Structure 1
């Protein structure tokens, strides 16, 4: 069962599970905490897992005005301060990954490590493997039917509000985020950038994200899509747990991570 936290930006629904250091799971766009079903039990063995549902998602109401990643990041900062009450690991998937990156950039004091799965730092038309899909998605169309079925039974605004939320999310995907490599260079947390090898984002974009974050590692999961946490949960969970628990191993032939003044031979 979950409960509400009265945050400055929006009254936010969240759930908790497990014990240990805090870990916040940030779901994808249009999603609810149900989409973390393949991760939460494994992660809760080692961590105190917090699962907030962001504004206009799941049990958390919509608010007037457009939906922005920055507002959702600010909500997450408020959640960390008011509910978690200490720095936490952030594991974000898709839109949740974008939010995790923004929080890590803005409030490094609240972030331990980051896992960003299927995340992007530029708007959909610049990074989607098939940008035309944005024009094909409509609130009542088949492409969003799965998400509509997640939304309608639990949304405090009622099922009739779905077209409003769908339009807001699609507009956000078309125009946001607008981060630069310089923005990403401000992220201090050790970050695992993860994607499927057939992800919604191009591999070139994912690689650019990895290269722009100073202390980043990259995992491209073979035979997987943007839904890699559902498709390869065992592998994804091991990668997350290893990243959060272990310090980086010293590699034998570092190039990107070579110390200044040394050269590969």
Structure 2
């Protein structure tokens, strides 16, 4: 893959591999104090995607498809094969694309506060106004491109959001991995979209956290970690009164 970017990553823990994919305009540090606790069970890989964290920007756009290709390259080159994939927010969309394009590389899939179509989000990425200072400060703290490059990355993400075609729910049938769809009851991603996401996937389970927003990793770190760990370490148990699954 000549157009891929080698992503900087952190690696910790021991056990089967789990790759954590961060949200947009943040980096692997967003898993501090929540999902990084899975290192007691798994080997965790926390890559920073192109233009995020410690991975420099590259010429050209920053699209979900390009970041999915980077992640495929990372799985093949660094992890060395299939992995459990956990994606938060925009990282969930990247994880979804990887699972669609290369199902052989995804053993299980966790999608946290993610969307397959930006119309499912209450707010879309925007370059209008001043970005939140904590977001810019966190970028400047580690980015090899420096603080002044943040508006460039933001503009690329907004442009991609405006031009990259959405996924059709029928395309999600390409995902073969057992999948957990997890979101807050007051999420940036609408509940209707989250439920549609769950229903479009062929082998999915749904969890909605009460009193939780799009920042559920910060609001309910122990609960999110427990739900994700349980999903990644146990097999699906048959229910006594299946409705939707009865037709599968």
Q: Which interval holds the TM-score relative to the shorter structure? A: over 0.9
Aligned position for 1:108: 103
Contact kept in structure 1, 2:183 and 2:207, CA below 8 Å: yes
Per the alignment, do residues 62 and 198 of structure 1 end up closer, same or farther by CA in structure 2, a change over 3 Å counting?
same
Aligned position for 1:263: none
Matched, 1:21 2:9: no
Match of 1:179 among 163, 167, 192: 167
1:146, CA displacement in angstroms?
2.2
Counterpart mapping for 1:80-229 below 5 A:
80-123=75-118, 126-130=119-123, 134=125, 137-138=127-128, 141=130, 143-176=131-164, 178-229=166-217
In 2, the alpha carbon distance for the partners of 1:7 and 1:18 equals 31
In 1, the alpha carbon distance for the partners of 2:112 and 2:233 equals 18
TM-score normalised to structure 1 length: 0.89
Matched, 1:252 2:240: yes
Unaligned ranges ≥5, structure 1: 1-5, 261-265
Contact kept in structure 1, 2:6 and 2:74, CA below 8 Å: no
In 2, the alpha carbon distance for the partners of 1:40 and 1:232 equals 11
1:257, CA displacement in angstroms?
0.5
Aligned position for 2:43: 48
Q: Which moved more, 1:51-60 or 1:154-163?
A: 154-163
Structure number with bigger Rg: 1
> CA deviation digits over 1:103-150, x for unaligned, max 9?
001111111101000100112xx112245xx45x53x61x43222111
Match of 1:240 among 218, 228, 244: 228
Contact kept in structure 1, 2:35 and 2:224, CA below 8 Å: no
1:63, CA displacement in angstroms?
1.1
Compute the RMSD of aligned alpha carbons: 1.7
Question: How many matched pairs?
Answer: 248
> CA deviation digits over 1:2-52, x for unaligned, max 9?
xxxx98611310000100000000000001111100234420000000000
In 1, the alpha carbon distance for the partners of 2:5 and 2:123 equals 33
Unaligned ranges ≥5, structure 2: none
SS in 2 for 1:64: coil
In 2, the alpha carbon distance for the partners of 1:144 and 1:168 equals 17
Aligned position for 1:3: none
Per the alignment, do residues 164 and 130 of structure 1 end up closer, same or farther by CA in structure 2, a change over 3 Å counting?
closer
Contact kept in structure 2, 1:7 and 1:78, CA below 8 Å: no
Matched, 1:59 2:47: no
